[in-house]
Structures are given as C-alpha cells and as structure tokens.
Amino acid sequence: MTGRVLITNDDGIHSPGLRALARAAAAEGFDVVVAAPSEEASGVSAALSAYTDDGRVTITRNDFDGIAKYGVAASPAYIVVLATLGTFGPAPDLLLSGINRGANAGRAILHSGTCGAAFTAAAYGMPAMAASLDVLSPLSAERGGNALRVLDAASDEAHHWATAAQYVRDLLPRLQELRDGFVLNLNVPDRPADDVKGLETAVLARFGQVSMAVAESGQDFVRTSVEENRDRADEGTDLALLTDGYATVSIVRAVAELT
C-alpha cells in the first residue's frame, strides 16, 4: 500500500509520538505530510474548531527529516478537513493519527481527538488508523501506585514510541481491507517490543481508562479532575488485554445507521 498520508494527532505538533508515526510511514514508502494542532487538543472528539485571526487559521511550517510539517491553530478533525481541501498540498489518500500519549480504549474513544481525526477521515472516504501508546496501564501490578503521574509531558521522550510505530507498520496492509466508514484503533503497551505479548483483536471496554470526577464545587463553580478507572474490564476487551501486556486493535465506526 502506498500513496499520500496525512499524519495528525491531538497531543500537538511537538509530540514525539507524532514524529515517530511520521517516520514509520515514510519508512514504508508513503508520501508523508504532517499537520497537527499547534497546541494540545486532547478530548475534542471530532469537533471542527479553530482559532482565527481576522477569520484566518494560523499555519506554521517547520519541516523535519525532509517531511513537511505544519502546526495549525485548529482541532485534529478540522485539520483533516483542511487537508482534503488541498491546504497542505495534494489531498491525502489515508490518515494516520497519533501516536497518542495514553491509550484510547473503551467506549471513551468517542471523546478522543486522536480518534475523532480518524473518524472524520473515514467519513471523507479515507482509510484511517488511530494509534496510541498506553502510558498509564491502570490495574497493572508492574506499574503500581498512581499511574497518572507518567502523563507529565517532560517524560515523553522516554516512552516506547518505536514499539507502537512498529505495530502501525505491521497493520498498514489491513487498511486496504477496511469497510467504508470504519477505522482501525490501535493501542500498544509502553514497553520494549520484545516485552509485548503480541497483537490481539479486541472489543471495546464499556468504559475508558480514565474518567472525569468532581474535585470541588460551590454555588457558582465546579472544578473537575481526571482519575484512573480502577474497575476491572471484561475479559477480551481492549483495556483488559492492554493491562495483561498485549497490543490491541479494534475495528470501529463512529457513525452508523440501522438497516
């Protein structure tokens, strides 16, 4: 499979996962263009939002490794739409989104900007894959303690991006087999490749890896926090398999009608 591929994410243009994904696609012979939010845009789902100056969406170009890279003041889904309109050169043939810092698993993928970009691409007729690195691994005895501490962006470079990138490369041929409107959702443990137990096809867990909670409230305000979901996921689901050390892939569709 070859062609022009758009690489985007919701962690922002400076994410090491974004660079790892772009390099993996380039190594497979794709014509790669990178366009991602100028700032982090996690949790925006498929929102079509942008920051404008006099109606103009700001775009900053800063290439790396011979790959065109654009920082865009917009959400990931908005960037996908811009790409289909030729904003970053020829329209892409497929979309790779990620590699996200943190798993996108369970039905909570509905809220993910990483997955939202993939769902948007699929709606425009492009094969698409969302890829994420599980830097939390809740309920894993090997991690222990409060796993949320590893979300510190300063530690990004230490994560095993190359492991996730290799699984992306292995799955690229499956993009040709996708039914229209579906996407691949890949999650990979944050481990050396030899320590991952393999790749399993998984159904979505009923919940996400983290959940929102009310940290403080008053008469005219509420303050929320994000907490680990410590419930054990059902066997065979993406979260359960990730906890056990497997990479997972799910075939999902964002919008469907009963027929």
Q: Where are the domains of the chain?
A: 4-207+233-253
Cα–Cα distance, 223 to 22 (Å, whole number): 37
Confirm if 181 and 229 have CB atoms less than 8 A apart: no
pLDDT, tens digit (0-9, with 9 covering 90-100), for 95-126: 999 999 999 999 999 999 999 999 999 999 99
Q: Give every residue of the chain whose pLDDT is below 70, as ranges.
A: 1, 137-154, 211, 226-232
Q: Which residues pair with 67 in a beta bridge?
A: 64
Confirm if 125 and 226 have CB atoms less than 8 A apart: no
Cα–Cα distance, 140 to 106 (Å, whole number): 17
Q: Where are the alpha helices (DSSP H) in the chain?
A: 16-27, 76-84, 113-123, 161-171, 238-243
pLDDT score at 147: 42
pLDDT, tens digit (0-9, with 9 covering 90-100), for 122-158: 999 999 999 999 997 544 434 343 444 444 555 788 8
CATH topology of domain 4-207+233-253: Stationary-phase Survival Protein Sure Homolog; Chain: A, (3.40.1210)
pLDDT score at 145: 39
pLDDT score at 217: 87
- Determine the residue type at 226: V
Cα–Cα distance, 7 to 250 (Å, whole number): 20
pLDDT score at 1: 67
